[in-house]
Amino acid sequence: MSFAATILTLYPEMFPGPLGHALAGRALGDKWTLTARNIRDAATDRHRTVDDTPAGGGPGMVMRADILARAIDESGGTGPLLLMSPRGVPFSQAMARDIAAGDGVTIVCGRFEGVDERVIERRGLTEVSIGDYILSGGEIGALAVLDAVVRLLPGVMGNSASADEESFADGLLEHPQYTRPAEWEGAAIPPVLTSGDHAKVAAWRRDARRRLTARRRPDLFAKYLSDA
């Protein structure tokens, strides 16, 4: 059974977008499926209205609870129900692994000033953020989430062991990578990596990951040490 991804958006033509290419694209239709549904299809008026002015006043518009709830209920989506939102919990590699272990995911892409809080509460939407910045809508975030999830599905990556040493796999950033030529512009590959001694290579990579994480992401490194 393939993994089923359902997207609720005002712009279904944005999908699959980059997910139709490379690793995710090669697996699309085999290891996973993608259905993008237009939220406007759940509207009841001839203008297909999905938003209204915010209660209490203020700029912009808000997506209506009744329309969005109807779109969710009629979507046929499976798995966790996510709402891409700048106020959501930060998306993480651990979340990607948890989602990939299931049978699917349903992602709501917000627009305008946001979504009526009542539909978030009544439909149990989990708000997820891909970073501390504001985008025009949730579609780019949804693409990022799906890309992170799809590559973890069984059989998608050629070498499944690759995921074990990636950044965030165990709380650390990935070690530096090198390949031929052995020397380039006066810089040589660290000799230990060409020594053939697998134990020394593993130790070098482990130490490099710790040093890199401590220097670039002290927040991650502090968590790594506390979890050790």
Residue 191 lies in a domain: yes
Q: Give yes or no: residues 122 and 190 share one domain.
A: no
Q: Give yes or no: residues 180 and 108 share one domain.
A: no
Q: Which of 123, 150, 177 is a domain's end point?
A: 150
Res. 35 pLDDT band, cuts 50 70 90: very high
As for how many domains the chain has, the answer is 2
Task: Kindly report the CATH number assigned to the domain that includes residue 73.
Answer: 3.40.1280.10
d(C-alpha 208, C-alpha 111), whole Å: 42
Residue 176 lies in a domain: yes
Residue 137 lies in a domain: yes
> Do 66 and 37 meet the contact criterion of CB atoms below 8 Å apart?
no
Per-residue confidence (pLDDT) for residue 175, from 0 to 100? 95
Domain span at residue 174?
167-227
Mean pLDDT over 101-110 rounds to: 98
Q: Give yes or no: residues 135 and 183 share one domain.
A: no
- Residue reference for tokens 């239709």: 29
Q: Residue 160 above 90 pLDDT?
A: no
Please state the pTM of the whole predicted model: 0.92
> Do 118 and 64 meet the contact criterion of CB atoms below 8 Å apart?
no
Mean pLDDT over 85-99 rounds to: 97
Mean pLDDT estimate for the chain: 95
Q: Give yes or no: residues 122 and 43 share one domain.
A: yes
